[in-house]
């Protein structure tokens, strides 16, 4: 461990994992905290928290307001829980324009209504000019588990089918394009959206696991599953939906879309028995129109679970977990 915090410690990749495992968990050793879900399961409730430090605050397809509600809702929804209540903690920099705060609040309001979550408590702190970055929003959410058989790592079995509800990488690509750093003006909008009530429509089926692939993208989510279960995951490169603008941006900047953040996607594992019905139900919802089966869970070939990508020409490559510093930095 280094002596000071580095940007990579916040990137959501390997360095973040090491900070959490070696430092945070050495002090805060609750068995629930150790489960490494993005929300804590407590009796019939789930509880989640996330801080939003995105730049720019407004981007094609959304803003920090829509992002913070969607992020909170999605962390609850993928636990098979109906999002019930959330809190908002604002850390605002002195001098921040009230007009921008209005836009953000309007967006929070609309996204909360869309998902059915209620904002019931909040807090505001103002920090001196130069000691913040416009606005940071910390959100926590409480949900009520409504899936009869709640999804989770322990329910994953060999043969499970891996699905995703549409094109990947849109959020990260929209942020990169909105920054204009590379002189790019890609016609790409963030996919940021609350995944409930979309995921509620699947509550009667045998969904074994769900996770929203945000920081670190689909590669991060699949590697977490492989590590937690010890099983191999095999995905087909050509099965993964990637839109043309995202593909173009990746080719230009040397990114792999599998590592790009999403904010309206779910990686879903289903028993082979229910996978067909699940895919059909997903395709009938606006948020799942481009749903695809992207792979399968296989028996492990080695001591540890791995993620294998079958390429267009039939060869296989290993999909590694994201490195420490995730590129592009989007939070």
> By C-beta, is 27 or 312 nearer to a copy of itself?
27
Q: How far is the CB of 99 from a copy of itself (least distance, A)?
A: 7
Q: Let me know if 30 is exposed, middle or buried by CB neighbors in 10 A (0-12, 13-18, 19+).
A: exposed
End-to-end C-alpha distance for the chain, whole angstroms: 22
| Residue 146: C-alpha distances to residues 47, 61, 88, 127, 174 (Å) | 14, 30, 24, 40, 33
Is 9 or 292 the residue whose CB approaches a copy of itself more closely? 9
Task: Kindly tell me which of 105 and 252 has the beta carbon lying closer to a copy of itself.
Answer: 105
Decide: is 90 part of the binding site for a copy of itself (CB under 8 A). Answer: yes
**251 belongs to the binding site for a copy of itself (CB under 8 A):** no
Closer residue to a copy of itself, CB minimum distance, 4 or 315? 4
Count CB atoms within 10 A of the CB of residue 51: 15
Q: Which residue lies nearer to a copy of itself by CB, 140 or 165? A: 140
Shortest distance (Å) from residue 181 CB to a copy of itself: 14
**Least distance (Å) from a copy of itself to the CB of residue 109?**
5
Is-cis flag, bond preceding 56, omega within 30?
Answer: yes
Number of shown-chain residues binding a copy of itself (CB under 8 A): 75
The answer to whether residue 176 forms part of the interface with a copy of itself (CB under 8 A) is no
The whole-angstrom distance between residue 206's C-alpha and the CA centroid of its chain comes to 21
Smallest separation (angstroms) from a copy of itself to the CB of 96: 4
Residue 12: CB minimum distance to a copy of itself, A: 9
- Considering only residues 94 to 153 of the shown chain, the ones binding a copy of itself according to CB under 8 A are 94-99, 101-102, 105-106, 108-109, 112, 118-128, 130-133, 136, 138, 140, 142
Structure tokens at 225: 């599953």
Q: Which stretch in 16-24, 157-165, 179-187, 291-299 sits in contact with a copy of itself by CB under 8 A? A: 16-24
65 or 166: CB nearest a copy of itself: 65
C-alpha dist (Å) from residue 16 to 19, 23, 261, 325: 5, 10, 16, 9
Residue that has been written with the tokens 């060999």 in this structure: 158
Q: Parallel, antiparallel, or unpaired: how do β-strands 316-318 and 307-310 relate?
A: antiparallel
Q: 20 or 146: whose CB is closer to a copy of itself?
A: 20
Token couple for 129: 């000019």
Q: Is residue 9 a contact point for a copy of itself (CB under 8 A)?
A: yes
Q: What is the DSSP string of 136-178?
A: EEEEEEEEEE--SS---GGG--TTPEEEESS-SSHHHHHHHHH
Which region, judged by CB under 8 A, interacts with a copy of itself, from 91-99, 193-201, 223-231, 316-324? 91-99
Q: Which residues contact 190 (CB under 8 A, 6 or more apart)?
A: 59, 60, 61, 62, 67, 170, 171, 174, 175, 263, 264
Tell me how far the alpha carbon of residue 163 is from its chain's centroid: 15
CB of 79 to a copy of itself, least distance (A): 11
Spell out the residues 6+ positions from residue 26 whose beta carbon is closer than 8 angstroms to its own: none
**Contact with a copy of itself (CB under 8 A) among 67, 78, 79, 88:** 88
Backbone angles phi, psi at 313, to 5 degrees: -90, 5
Q: Is 56 a binder of a copy of itself (CB under 8 A)?
A: no
Exactly one of 18, 47, 230, 253 binds a copy of itself (CB under 8 A); that residue is 47
Chosen residue from 18, 58, 60, 89 binding a copy of itself by CB under 8 A:
89
Specify the residue, 70 or 271, whose C-beta has the smaller distance to a copy of itself. 70
């Amino acid at each position: 461990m280094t002596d000071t915090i580095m940007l990579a410690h916040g990137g959501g990749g390997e360095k973040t994992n090491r900070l959490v495992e070696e430092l945070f968990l050495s002090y805060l050793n609750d068995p629930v905290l150790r489960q490494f879900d993005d929300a804590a399961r407590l009796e019939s409730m789930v509880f989640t928290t996330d801080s939003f430090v995105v730049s720019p605050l407004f981007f094609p397809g959304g803003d920090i307001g829509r992002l913070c509600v969607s992020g909170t809702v999605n962390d609850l929804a993928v636990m098979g829980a109906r999002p019930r209540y959330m809190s908002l903690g604002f850390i605002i920099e002195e001098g921040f324009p009230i007009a921008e705060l209005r836009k953000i609040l309007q967006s929070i309001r609309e996204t909360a209504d869309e998902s059915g979550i209620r904002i019931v408590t909040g807090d505001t702190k103002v920090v001196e000019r130069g000691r913040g970055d416009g606005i940071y929003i910390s959100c926590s959410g409480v949900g009520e588990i409504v899936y009869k058989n709640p999804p989770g790592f322990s329910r994953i079995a060999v043969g499970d089918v891996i699905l995703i509800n549409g094109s990947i990488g849109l959020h990260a690509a929209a942020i990169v394009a909105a920054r204009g750093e590379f002189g790019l003006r890609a016609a790409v909008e963030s996919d940021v959206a609350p995944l409930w009530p979309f995921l509620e429509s699947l509550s009667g089926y045998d969904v074994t696991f769900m996770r929203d692939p945000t920081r670190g993208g689909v590669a991060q989510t699949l590697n977490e599953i492989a590590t937690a279960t010890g099983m191999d995951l095999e995905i087909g490169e050509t099965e993964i939906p990637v839109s043309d603008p995202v593909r173009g941006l990746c080719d230009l900047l040397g990114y792999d879309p599998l590592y790009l953040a999403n904010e309206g996607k779910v990686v879903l594992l289903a028993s082979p028995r229910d996978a067909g019905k699940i895919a059909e139900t997903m395709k009938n919802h606006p948020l799942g129109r481009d749903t695809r089966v992207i792979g399968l869970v296989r028996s492990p070939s080695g001591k540890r679970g791995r993620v294998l990508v079958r390429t267009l020409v039939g060869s296989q490559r290993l999909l590694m977990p994201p490195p420490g510093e995730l590129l592009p930095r989007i939070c």
